């Protein structure tokens, strides 16, 4: 699916002829909906959801396929993600809970990066050499069976941008499936190549996606606590970035503080 791109990428793909099925949307329908459109056209046994800002540096698909054929239950498999310079990138994440949400919003994850209690990214700081079950693999590379994706009814299209893979992994685990991180192969993920050029789009949709995920998967005191610390984290970042930008004479920090201020007024309608 081409989600109304404005570069020449679709013309390059057409050069491959009938080996590639191309459908073009007249507007950007968001990550979830466009991927679901593409997966509806897919006929194979397996599906690969792959970001367009990725680069293969080895035969990753062969290795992923080989390990996937040994898995018996429904699964999603992700590989190791690397930055452009070859350094490790965040590839795996824990589901949010009260502890790690407090840790993230009070900067405790910075003080205790390897702490499972305070940092939902703690596994990225550990040496993992074999296939390992995790909560979430990042959406730049998701490999699964076609029938599994269809049984889950694909991505939840209420998520426009961000958190789609977290929700998909959450729903798979709720139905008894597994999410695996396979570190024996890797790809380069440029990451933020598009959203860094439109920062308010990034901050706004990250905030909306987080709240929608909380609305869908948490309730009662857990939901109230997580949501409260989410907004408290936003609130304390406003003066930190604004004052930091003023004292350090850095415009980007002032702008960031302003974006956090705008997030205080974001609360999407709870449709769940």
Domain ranges of the chain: 42-193, 196-263
- Confidence at residue 18, expressed as pLDDT on a 0 to 100 scale: 67
In order of 41, 136, 142, 145, the CA distances from 68 in angstroms are 22, 17, 12, 9
Q: Which residues have CB under 8 Å from 49's CB, separation 6+? A: 35, 39, 139, 141, 142, 143
- Confidence at residue 24, expressed as pLDDT on a 0 to 100 scale: 74
In order of 94, 138, 155, 177, 262, the CA distances from 171 in angstroms are 14, 15, 10, 9, 31
Q: What digits encode the pLDDT tens for the residues 25-66?
A: 787 778 888 889 888 888 899 999 999 889 999 999 999 999
Contact 47, 144 (CB under 8 A): yes
Closest CA to 161 of 100, 213, 197, 119: 213
The continuous run of DSSP H or E covering 56 comes out as: strand 54-56
pLDDT band at residue 269 under the 50/70/90 scheme = very high
Burial class (CB in 10 A: 0-12, 13-18, 19+), 265: exposed
Provide the CB-side half-sphere exposure for 161 (13 A, CA): 15
Contact 149, 164 (CB under 8 A): no
- Confidence at residue 58, expressed as pLDDT on a 0 to 100 scale: 96
Average pLDDT over residues 207-220: 98
Domain covering 42-193: architecture? Alpha-Beta Complex (3.90)
pLDDT band at residue 12 under the 50/70/90 scheme = low
Average pLDDT over residues 212-237: 98
Q: Residue 11: is its pLDDT beyond 80?
A: no
DSSP code of 91? -
Q: Among residues of the chain, what percentage have pLDDT more than 70?
A: 93
Average pLDDT over residues 104-131: 96
Q: Among residues of the chain, what percentage have pLDDT more than 90?
A: 79
Q: Residue 260: is its pLDDT beyond 80?
A: yes
User: Higher-confidence residue: 24 or 42?
Assistant: 42
Q: Residue 150: is its pLDDT beyond 80?
A: yes
What would the two tokens of residue 68 be?
A: 């996937």
Cα(101)–Cα(224) distance, rounded to whole angstroms?
12
How close are the terminal C-alpha atoms of the chain, in Å?
28
């Amino acid at each position: 699916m081409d989600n109304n791109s404005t570069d020449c990428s679709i013309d390059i793909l057409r050069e491959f002829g009938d080996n590639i099925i191309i459908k073009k949307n007249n507007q950007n329908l968001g990550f979830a909906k466009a991927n679901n459109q593409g997966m509806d056209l897919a006929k194979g046994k397996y599906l690969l959801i792959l970001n367009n800002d990725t680069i293969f540096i080895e035969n990753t698909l062969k290795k992923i396929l080989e390990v996937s054929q040994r898995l018996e239950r429904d699964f999603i498999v992700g590989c190791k993600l690397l930055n452009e310079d070859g350094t490790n990138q965040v590839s795996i994440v824990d589901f949010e809970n009260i502890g790690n949400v407090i840790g993230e919003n009070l900067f405790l994850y910075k003080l205790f990066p390897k702490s499972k209690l305070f940092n939902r990214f703690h596994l990225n700081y550990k040496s993992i050499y074999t296939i390992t079950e995790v909560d979430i693999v990042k959406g730049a590379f998701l490999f699964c069976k076609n029938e599994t994706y269809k049984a889950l009814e694909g991505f939840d299209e209420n998520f426009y941008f961000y958190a789609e893979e977290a929700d998909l992994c959450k729903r798979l685990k709720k139905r008894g499936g597994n999410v695996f991180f396979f570190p024996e192969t890797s790809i380069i993920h440029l990451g933020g190549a598009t959203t860094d050029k439109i920062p308010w789009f990034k901050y706004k949709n990250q905030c909306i996606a987080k709240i929608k995920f909380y609305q869908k998967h948490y309730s009662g005191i857990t939901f109230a606590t997580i949501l409260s610390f989410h907004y408290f984290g936003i609130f304390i970042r406003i003066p930190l970035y604004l004052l930091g930008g003023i004292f350090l004479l850095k415009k980007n920090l002032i702008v960031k503080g302003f974006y956090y201020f705008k997030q205080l007024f974001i609360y999407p309608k709870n449709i769940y």
